[in-house]
Structure 1
Amino acid sequence: MKRLTAYINKLFEELPRGDQTEKVKEEIIRDLEEKVADLVEEGKSEEDAINKVIVEFGDIDEIKQEMDLPDFPNNHKPELARLNLGYSLWGSGLIIALVLFINYYYTPHIIWFIYPAFAVAWWPLSMFYHLHRKKLEGKG
């Protein structure tokens, strides 16, 4: 039943730690293990029973409402916003380098690479402000 425990732990990782959360998590794991045992007794294989129980369990939104916990969407993580900023910096740098190479290789007498470079520069700029907003939300 390690798979059930791992699945529930993954669902609960965004919720704040506490006694109430741990009790609810243990109760859910116990209930799901009982359902798996019942399905195995009915003749299903353990793998099929686990899959069926996971599918029938659904998501954790109802449990959050019962516990009076705020909804924490995945996009409120500053670490993810920081990673997006890093990818945008590297990606825009590579795109600008490619456009610069094409400009100087095919038309060295006309400098046109600056126009797409300005357009591509908005990508990391927007990711920077997204990260800044996430950091401010975390403090508030």
Structure 2
Amino acid sequence: MKKIQQHVERLFQDLPETDEVVQVKEEIIMNLEEKAQDLMEQGKNEEDAINKTIVDFGDIDEIKAELQGTTTPATTKPRKKTHPKLNLLFSIWGSALIIALMVFMNLEYSPQTIWFVYPTFAILWWPLSMYFHWLKQGGRKA
């Protein structure tokens, strides 16, 4: 199981040797050795079990970032820029156009029955939800 220890040491070589890093390394080594032992009990030979354990473990970028107290660009997702006011305005205009289309269709094809009111209620949820999103994002700031 020396190969597992060497692999973990290589992964952590660029981190300072603090108590926390040592503890994490020991825990990882212990877990990897247990997994290799389980694979050997299932019939794999020692070298295959160790290699499979190392491959399954993968990289430790997230663990390193946590130990360093920072996040690396690979582990952080880029933040989307949201424009809540623009979304609100778009939803108002879009729903107004859809409702106008419904009114036109109602009056043109079936003027004897007024049905456009029903989809209007469903369509109005869109600007209403955008309004509350805009408020949540800090709308109406003085």
| TM-score (norm. length: structure 2) | 0.47
Q: Quick check: which has more Rg, 1 or 2?
A: 2
**TM-score (normalised: structure 1):** 0.48
